């Protein structure tokens, strides 16, 4: 039986989602629980994508296979009873055997939170503490250049060699409320560090170190060195994953 789980996590104490040798990761914690539920048989989970160290998720998705048909509510309760308190399964559902949590994704939505007011130590792991005023109009203008289908090579990891850097961004917006900026991005998918690199560049535009139209030139350059400094991981959240 193939199961799809929707789960949230606080990534501040983990070395990212993906399993890594001798490191504490989200995938490790979930697979340890499934190992117990599967009577000490190894169970691999396949997520919609990985998140880096310190990144959080509201609605991450992953699938896994179990030999037995378990009541969904019972399975959800059993998993949560053994998971650390900073990881929580919100939903469990049965899916077709050919479904794949990563390859069937149609869109992903991320948000990034920034505090431009006074420093808040309580939120330091969850909201980037920039604590500086920004030119909001410049940022809004720059966001327009990110929408659409582009080659985003300038906004990914410098040594991330891929055959295809083309992605489509359907939504690139921001809102300001109580000295907190929240960026929102919806796209077909995102390259590694893409959102954090875009946010870092947008902040330089907001600080008037760059101009809004520089985004267009950065995209055309296809060179990571042309974009701004990467934004910290603490403000980034995987908000949702959308399938057919």
The mean per-residue pLDDT over the stretch 208-233 comes to 97
- Assign a CATH topology to domain 107-242: Alpha-Beta Plaits (3.30.70)
The answer on pLDDT for 211 being more than 70 is yes
Q: Say whether 123 sits in a helix, a strand or coil.
A: helix
Q: Of the CATH numbers 3.40.50.300, 3.30.70.580, 3.40.50.1820, 3.50.50.60, which one belongs to the domain with range 2-95?
A: 3.30.70.580
Question: Token digits for 119?
Answer: 């420093």
The answer on pLDDT for 79 being more than 90 is yes
Count Cβ atoms below 10 Å from residue 159 Cβ, excluding itself. 6
The mean per-residue pLDDT over the stretch 42-62 comes to 96
The answer on pLDDT for 159 being more than 80 is no
d(CA 75, CA 58) in angstroms, rounded, equals 20
Q: Across the chain, what does the average pLDDT equal?
A: 96
Assign 68 a pLDDT band (cuts: 50, 70, 90).
Answer: confident
Which residues are within 8 A (CB) of 57 and not within 5 positions of it... i.e. 6 or more apart? Answer: 7, 8, 9, 11, 17, 51, 237, 238
pLDDT of residue 204: 98
pLDDT of residue 163: 75
Closest by CA to 223, choosing from 170, 158, 164, is 158
pLDDT of residue 139: 98
Please give the positions annotated as active site.
52
pLDDT of residue 156: 94
Q: What backbone phi and psi angles, to 5 degrees, belong to 133?
A: -75, 150
What residue segments make up the domains of the chain, in order of their start? Answer: 2-95, 107-242
Which residues are within 8 A (CB) of 3 and not within 5 positions of it... i.e. 6 or more apart? Answer: 63, 64, 65, 66, 75, 92, 93, 94, 95
- Per-residue DSSP letter, 147: S
pLDDT of residue 160: 64
């Amino acid at each position: 039986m193939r199961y799809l789980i929707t789960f949230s996590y606080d990534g501040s104490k983990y070395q990212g989602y993906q399993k890594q040798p001798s490191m504490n990761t989200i995938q490790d914690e979930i697979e340890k629980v499934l190992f117990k539920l599967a009577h000490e048989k190894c169970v691999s989970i396949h997520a919609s994508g990985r998140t880096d160290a310190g990144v959080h998720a509201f609605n991450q998705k992953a699938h896994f296979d179990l030999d037995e048909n378990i009541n969904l509510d019972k399975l959800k309760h059993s998993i949560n009873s053994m998971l650390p308190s900073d990881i929580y399964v919100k939903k469990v559902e049965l899916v077709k055997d050919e479904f794949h949590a990563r390859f069937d994704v149609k869109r992903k939505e991320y948000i990034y939170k920034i505090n431009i007011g006074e420093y808040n130590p309580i939120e330091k792991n969850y909201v980037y503490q920039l604590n500086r005023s920004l030119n909001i109009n410049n940022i809004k203008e720059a966001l327009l250049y990110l929408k659409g289908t582009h080659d985003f090579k300038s906004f990914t990891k410098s040594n991330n060699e891929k055959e295809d850097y083309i992605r489509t961004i359907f939504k690139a917006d921001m809102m300001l409320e109580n000295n907190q900026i929240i960026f929102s991005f919806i796209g077909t998918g995102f390259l590694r560090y893409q959102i954090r690199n875009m946010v870092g560049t947008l902040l330089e535009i907001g600080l008037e170190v760059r101009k809004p139209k520089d985004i267009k030139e950065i995209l055309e350059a296809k060179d990571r060195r042309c974009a701004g400094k990467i934004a910290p991981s603490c403000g980034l959240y995987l908000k949702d994953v959308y399938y057919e």
